[in-house]
Amino acid sequence: MCGARVTPSQRISGLSTAIGRHIQSGIPTMLTGVAKEKSWASSEAARHSMQANRSRDTEPELQVRHELFRHGLRYRVAYRALPHSLRTVDIAFPGQRIAVLIDGCFWHSCPDHLRTPSTHADFWATKLEATKRRDQETSQMLAANGWLVLRFWEHEDPIEVSRRIEQAVAEAKTPIDPSKTVRPNP
């Protein structure tokens, strides 16, 4: 597959450095209002750093995808499941309307592994809290659009995760019992 894989921890340390640079330039003092945050994010480099928290092709996600593929499942990657939204689903089964999200332990505040960085702690707390709210909102929007949302942590066993996904897909594929269908009026 791809040559140089970036582990989540490498990515975080890279981002931390990038964001640290912005912090050192005194920019976080602007992070108080939406309009101000917008102007801050208008710096192209910063915007890309911030968007990286829903990155594709992380190692745990690749392992799950590999396992699903090996079992004959076909899916879409980084799929835009919501109309008028750029938010993507890591692994999507559009036919069954199943949305799989594999959340990084750091960015998505896994209760087992979250370590808020001690430097720029306030900045990180605000940032991570916003990501959490965004995750909840995404799940709600997906559900409102008829998607079954399956969220996993990156620390979970990829084999176990893929089994649970396969099960959900298989259940969604179960033919509808004809005796339970409503017949249209003649």
For binding to Zn ion (CB under 5 A), which residues are involved? 105, 110, 112-113, 153, 155
Q: How far is the CB of 60 from Zn ion (least distance, A)?
A: 10
Task: Kindly report the backbone phi and psi dihedral angles of residue 72, in degrees, each rounded to the nearest multiple of 5, phi listed first.
Answer: 85, 5
Q: How far is the CB of 112 from Zn ion (least distance, A)?
A: 4
Q: How far is the CB of 78 from Zn ion (least distance, A)?
A: 22
Q: How far is the CB of 12 from Zn ion (least distance, A)?
A: 13
> Left if phi > 0, otherwise alpha if psi is -120 to 50, otherwise beta: which for 99?
beta
Beta strands 76-79 and 98-103, pairing class: unpaired
Cβ proximity to Zn ion, 9 vs 17, nearer residue: 9
Q: Which residues pair with 148 in a beta bridge?
A: 98
Tokens 């192209």 belong to 44
Cβ proximity to Zn ion, 157 vs 171, nearer residue: 157
Cβ proximity to Zn ion, 107 vs 147, nearer residue: 107
Cβ proximity to Zn ion, 122 vs 157, nearer residue: 157
